[in-house]
Structure 1
């Protein structure tokens, strides 16, 4: 969900519990728009508070990992060290439900007198800022200066009075009575979620949609078009959520789809697809750090694999064009038998020709029908027959060569499609190592570096444990598929694979036990999820015991043949949690 007022409220609650009463022992400006404060808490723990006013990723969170400080501290950092270094955090507050956090810090000045100054972080997208205030609410300095040329609403410059602009005229939801919420809904001609997010401060479209979903009302109807009972229920649900916010009753969580985080929230998320899973966490900081770290990992993997994706995509486009041309040429060779028949008929009926004819009409003794054979009037019957036999021989040789070439092109396409699916499955940088090795080994990309040296492989297959306790392994690429099927699996273990589409091999280790229906369903779902058909409603899955599988001679790794199998229809979704490595 968005970094909205409710997310900020959960962070303020956490900061108050963990940081209030602590002393600021270190201040570092690790980026031009980011601060890291080390706070020594009353229980003598050192906690790192990260405050970022980055336009694309503003955040505030207690983090474990720090960044190196620049050798020369920027002026803003030096100013904060002078006024806040060693200071006592007296309070941490949020005005209303604004995306803003105020840190009031008590500190002694050069004369030894106690005074209080305030550090404010505004988490407002491209308008985010970190502002340092005096005790009379005047701006001492800010990490970003905003002159009147950039904003006609508010200047953020030293010496200017500080205030939070209310440019959209929204209402503080924490102070709104339930009856007023009902009247707002009754007067709105837009859907309820949009009504709530556009009327109240700090309410994002995501949390508004969640509240509407919890209320069970029609999210597409205009708010005023809802029944009176529905509006009453929705107003009550909204008020109840605001009471939980005021009471600090948060339950931070991250929503994952597969291995990728797709949303986060200060409250449990109920509106999500069946193949998603919600992971609860101890603090809002943990949610923020985990969400952006995992999103960053996913983004980095996509960037790292971009060159491989491009190579595979270009090769596939080239092969599909080549296959189309080969198939057209192969279709043209189907008329070869016509020329053979022409030659044979000319050898049989050519004695009837006097010379100079442009055609010969005779009976085709293969079909019993009359046929007209075009002739070169400058050639004899025997010469025309030889010409047709030559054309037949050429087309026959072409057909034989094209049949081999077409089969090879189809095999290469199948191989590249399987590699493309492996790239979609890759979650970590080490998962790309074997894919790059395979592309190199089969000549799709050039080898770089000394021959014979291979990158160290640390990637391992996915490991899941079924609801009934069966170990299930999923190959991330063709090499792992080969390893799982022909080395990890034994004869009585079960093998699953998507039918007629590229995908991972799924191996279920039975350990001599009888497979349950639930285990078959879960293994089928894994095979569907880790296949090219992941986004389909259902995928047909072939499954067979390992002893029925055979390698394809001369084929790429992971390609198998089988003559006896069972099939099932599986919904592609991740039903199981990945097992932890021991």
Structure 2
């Protein structure tokens, strides 16, 4: 979800209500591109976090504090000098731009009342925090943008601040019916794209929501619509913008299972209402959404080294498998060399010296066959040559068959590690995966005095019928769940033939209802390589029939009789338990 102008409007409305009139008590810069302001208001002290991170720009009220560096950066020192103890007299948003402007009053060194502006631009990789004087001249910014970086606008001390050109987009808060119709009809693209490319501050998701409100497919073009349909779309658009203008926001996050999928300052009718969670504050929503996303991003970054190890080993083993398979295919005709040798022994006694071939009846197929001969060899030597070739290819076939199975097992194991990295939620999960890779020899152990403590636990769900279901997040957890935690009559689930988690359903000696089987199957599908598929084949069996071969890698099991079901991987309605 883009941090669009509508979200910024909700933030501006909330910040204006809570911070206008407040005094800036503390200014900190915990990160190179982040500010943390403590503002004293009549309702108490509030903390405002402002981040201009290229990967995760945002602004929200928070109760969390962050440690600051021992020496404050220059931008932080400048703000402390000018607006420390300053009073916020206004918070505004120009149009529906992704910009929030803080107007701050303070006393200068001579005791005169002055005004400054702190401008926050939430624009993806171009996000910035810019400090200006009352006349709009830039005093400094948290990121300096020179002409070498951007030919559109320099952001440097001494330059005049201006809002970047938004490609002549219309202000949706001041759009009438005629302008709306004209803007859409000028665009040959779909309605959804025409909306977000014609009007400032509207994201693709919000554009799709406006179309859904009107009951019109966003893939259609304005040329496909009648005048009445276009008028109906405008009225829904105008109603949507009226809510923004009046500050009637309803912050909501839509989830896919436990993962936040989208957020919005206003409800999005294209998403099921039963996956929505409403918030009373846009700041709470942003903290919840981005904390989860930030955790996922951090885990993704911290797992980069492990992913590199796994991916490199996977590529090496896949190349090895292809080479071994080609070599194995070369031994497919080995049996004919044995037949050649036997037929030469049988019929070669009457061959003339120097013969280049032998034509004889193949008593295995009752067909005539022609066998090439080396004219410099005797029939016995020719037969011996073919027997030697047969035996060599037979040994090669036997050795390669075993090696190919080992390589195939390695590939399957590494794919299971890759799947475990995809579903890792915490640093403890990554530590456990790393420990597994150390145990299996893919990563060398570093000897340190401090030993890592592994506190990662399996995922825990409860079925609609009240049965507890557990999901392993990696092979060590899978093995622990299956062979230590589960009882013989508990049920075991796994996606058929692909990497995935072991799912255990505790039966407590009961016969499970069909709905619990289906929900456990969905968990096995969701936590497998085929997550997102509409149909995933799941094997399930009582745990007592699941065995672990001696010497096999963690998480590897065998079973010979099982049930199967086809199920989707939607777990949005399955209740998760936080242990």
Shift of 1:261: 4.3
Moved more, 372-381 or 544-553: 372-381
Moved more, 169-178 or 231-240: 169-178
Give the corresponding residue for 1:222: 221
The answer on 1:538 being equivalent to 2:535 is yes
Unaligned 5+ runs, structure 1: none
Shift of 1:185: 4.2
Give the corresponding residue for 1:20: 20
The answer on 1:431 being equivalent to 2:412 is no
Aligned-partner Cα distance in 2 for 1:428–1:79: 38
Give the corresponding residue for 2:546: 549
Shift of 1:191: 3.2
Moved more, 11-20 or 149-158: 149-158
Per-residue CA deviation, residues 158-209 of structure 1 (Å, 9 max, x unaligned), is 7888765766444433343456545554565443333433443333333222
Describe the shift of the 1:161–1:501 C-alpha distance in structure 2 as closer, same or farther (beyond 3 A): closer
Shift of 1:111: 6.8
Give the corresponding residue for 1:10: 10
SS in 2 for 1:501: coil
Shift of 1:262: 4.5
Describe the shift of the 1:355–1:86 C-alpha distance in structure 2 as closer, same or farther (beyond 3 A): closer
Task: Please give the residue correspondences for 1:30-49 in structure 2 after superposition, counting only pairs within 5 Å.
Answer: 30-31=30-31, 33-43=33-43, 45-49=44-48
Aligned-partner Cα distance in 1 for 2:17–2:559: 62
Aligned-partner Cα distance in 2 for 1:352–1:198: 90
Aligned-partner Cα distance in 1 for 2:304–2:74: 40
Give the corresponding residue for 1:94: 93
Task: Please give the residue correspondences for 1:109-258 in structure 2 after superposition, counting only pairs within 5 Å.
Answer: 118-125=117-124, 126=126, 128-134=128-134, 137=135, 139=137, 141-143=139-141, 168-178=167-177, 181-182=180-181, 184-185=183-184, 189-257=188-256
Give the corresponding residue for 2:399: 401
Shift of 1:139: 4.1
TM-score normalized by the length of structure 2: 0.87
Shift of 1:38: 0.6
The answer on whether the counterparts of 1:462 and 1:578 sit within 8 Å (CA) in structure 2 is no
Give the corresponding residue for 1:339: 337
Give the corresponding residue for 1:325: 323
Shift of 1:256: 4.3
Describe the shift of the 1:331–1:247 C-alpha distance in structure 2 as closer, same or farther (beyond 3 A): same
Unaligned 5+ runs, structure 2: none
Describe the shift of the 1:99–1:335 C-alpha distance in structure 2 as closer, same or farther (beyond 3 A): closer
Aligned-partner Cα distance in 1 for 2:54–2:363: 84
Give the corresponding residue for 2:522: 525
**Number of aligned positions between the proteins:** 577
Shift of 1:237: 1.0
Shift of 1:357: 3.4
Per-residue CA deviation, residues 45-91 of structure 1 (Å, 9 max, x unaligned), is 32111234455654322123344445454565455445533344344
Shift of 1:118: 4.6
Question: Residue 414 of structure 1: which of 391, 402, 412 is its match?
Answer: 412
SS in 1 for 2:551: coil
Moved more, 437-446 or 7-16: 437-446
Give the corresponding residue for 1:559: 556
TM-score normalized by the length of structure 1: 0.87
Give the corresponding residue for 2:366: 368
Superposed CA RMSD in Å reads 3.5
Task: Please give the residue correspondences for 1:474-553 in structure 2 after superposition, counting only pairs within 5 Å.
Answer: 474-553=471-550
SS in 1 for 2:505: strand
SS in 1 for 2:576: coil
The answer on whether the counterparts of 2:258 and 2:572 sit within 8 Å (CA) in structure 1 is no
